[in-house]
Amino acid sequence: MINSAAEVRALVVSPDPALASAFLDIARELGIISDVSNGQEGVPQELGREKYEALLVDFDGDGVALAALAALRANPSNRNAVIFAIATGASKQQLALQHQAHFLLPRPLDSKELRRTLYAAYDAMTRERRRYFRCTAELPVVLTRADGSDVAAQTSNVSANGMSIRSAISFKLGERVGITLDLQDDGTHVLASGTVVWDDKHGKSGISFQCVRPELQHKLDTWLDGQFFRMRQVAVRELQTTSAASREGS
């Protein structure tokens, strides 16, 4: 199963099944998971449910593209997605550029050009997914409370901005704690302060990092980068294997 933390996702908004099929086939080569909305119901509901790193919009589709772009930019999680536009004729191509499409594909679609464009945009799409990456990891962490007592805990997941933990005690919302996080790979400890942002009163808590020294933030980011790209490689291999098996069975 592809790990959702590392999967890069794209949404195709077009009533043209041939376009959607061509995009999905090439996206699979890069391990990109794609969803399709034909736009017949207006603003794609998928934009409110999923985090997407790319949006392909069809400017030949009766105003569907503009509604999709408006919805994309109104969603904080999706507003930095890479935008691909396909359009026939100079006026619609100009409209796509006016609405800040990053890549413009003319009709009739050239599959070689689509492949070149997707490959060119892949790094930007991966960087956008990395920004939201939370690594599922069980790491030892020690939390120091205001009274000086230490609480041994274990992370459930870690991001550049915080972590969720499991411990034998509960914390108060807004409680400030010192953090000693053991990354284990090379004995590196990340020292920080943090604030408890949620606690379920059953041993699970969420902590937002408030202060991490720059050199330690760099170590944390480097560790997260390594975890992300290892998981990404696994995700790509799994999707490509699944796609190859599907083609052989069809």
DSSP string of 111-139, one letter each residue: HHHHHHHHHHHHHHHHHHHHHT--EE---
* Mean pLDDT, residues 144-168: 94
Q: Does residue 42 surpass a pLDDT of 70? A: no
Percent of the chain with pLDDT over 90: 50
| Stated pTM of the model | 0.73
Percent of the chain with pLDDT over 70: 89
Burial of 111 (0-12, 13-18, 19+ CB in 10 A): exposed
User: Quick one: pLDDT band at residue 63, thresholds 50, 70, 90?
Assistant: confident
- Token couple for 146: 């205001």
Where do the CATH 2.40.10.220 domains begin and end in the chain?
Answer: 135-226
Strand 8-13 versus strand 32-37 pairing type: parallel
Which residue ranges does the chain devote to CATH 3.40.50.2300? 8-132
Inform me whether the pLDDT recorded for 244 exceeds 70.
Answer: no
Sheet strands side by side (includes 8-13): 32-37, 8-13, 54-58, 82-87, 103-106
The residues pairing with 153 across neighbouring beta strands, listed in sequence order, are: 141, 167
**If you compute the radius of gyration of the chain from its CA atoms, what whole number of angstroms results?**
22
Tell me: pLDDT of 34 over 50.
Answer: yes
Q: Residue 203 pLDDT more than 80?
A: yes
Structural contact between residues 62 and 38, judged by C-beta atoms closer than 8 angstroms: no
pLDDT of residue 206: 97
Per-residue pLDDT tens digits for 96-108: 999 999 999 998 8
pLDDT for 29 equals 86
Alpha carbons 116 and 120: distance in angstroms, whole number: 6
CA distances from residue 249 to 1, 30, 35, 239, 244 in whole angstroms, order as listed? 19, 21, 22, 15, 9
The one-letter amino acid code at 130 reads R
pLDDT at 237 over 90: no
Most distant CA pair in the chain: distance in Å?
Answer: 69
Right CATH for 8-132 from 3.30.70.260, 3.40.50.2300, 3.90.1010.10, 3.10.105.10:
3.40.50.2300
pLDDT higher at 73 or 245: 73
pLDDT at position 1 over 50: no
The answer to whether residue 89 scores a pLDDT higher than 70 is: yes
Q: Note the pLDDT of residue 213.
A: 85
pLDDT of residue 187: 66
Q: Tell me the average pLDDT across 63-90.
A: 89
Position 38 scores a pLDDT of: 75
Domain 135-226 has CATH 2.40.10.220: yes
Q: Is the dihedral of CA 45, 46, 51, 57 positive or negative?
A: negative
pLDDT band at 188 (very low <50, low <70, confident <90, very high): confident
What residue spans of the chain are helical by DSSP H? Answer: 17-29, 46-49, 64-74, 90-98, 111-131, 214-249
pLDDT at site 3: 43
| Mean pLDDT for the chain overall | 87
49 near 37, Cβ under 8 Å?
Answer: no
